[in-house]
Amino acid sequence: MRPSRRDELVRKAFHVFYRHGFHATGMDTLVRETGISKTTMYNYFSTKDELILAVLRLRDEEFRNRFTRRMQQLANTPAGQMLALFDVLDEWFHEEGFCGCLFIKAGAEFQDHSDPIHVQAAEHKRVLQEQFTAMAREAGARDPRDLASKLMVLKEGAIVLAVLGNKDEAIRNAKGAAQLLIETATGQQVEAA
Partner DNA sequence: GAAAAAGATTACCGATCAGTACATTTACAA
Partner DNA sequence: TTGTAAATGTACTGATCGGTAATCTTTTTC
Nearer to a second copy, 33 or 109 (CB): 109
Nearer to DNA, 46 or 73 (CB): 46
Instruction: Look at residues 107, 96, 84, 82 and name the one whose alpha carbon lies nearest to residue 160.
Output: 107
Instruction: Look at residues 30, 73, 60, 33 and name the one whose alpha carbon lies nearest to residue 130.
Output: 60
- Report which secondary-structure segment, H or E, holds 55: helix 48-74
Helix axis angle for 48-74 and 102-109, nearest 10°, is 150
Contact between 65 and DNA by CB under 7 A: the answer reads no
Task: Tell me if 127 sits within 8 A of 60, measured CB to CB.
Answer: yes
Q: Distance between CA 135 and CA 142 in Å, rounded?
A: 12
Contact between 105 and DNA by CB under 7 A: the answer reads no
Nearer to a second copy, 99 or 193 (CB): 99
If contact means CB under 5 to 8 A according to the sort of partner, which of a second copy, DNA, none does residue 29 touch?
A: DNA
Q: Distance between CA 76 and CA 81 in Å, rounded?
A: 7
Question: For DNA, which residue of 11, 12, 33, 40 counts as binding (CB under 7 A)?
Answer: 40
Q: How far is the CB of 14 from a second copy (least distance, A)?
A: 14
Contact between 150 and a second copy by CB under 8 A: the answer reads yes
Count of alpha carbons within 13 angstroms of residue 50, beta-carbon side: 8
Q: How far is the CB of 115 from DNA (least distance, A)?
A: 14
**What residue ranges bind a second copy (CB under 8 A)?**
19-21, 23-24, 99-100, 103-105, 107-109, 111, 118, 121-122, 125-126, 129, 146, 149-150, 152-161, 163-165, 169-170, 173-174, 176-177, 180-181, 184
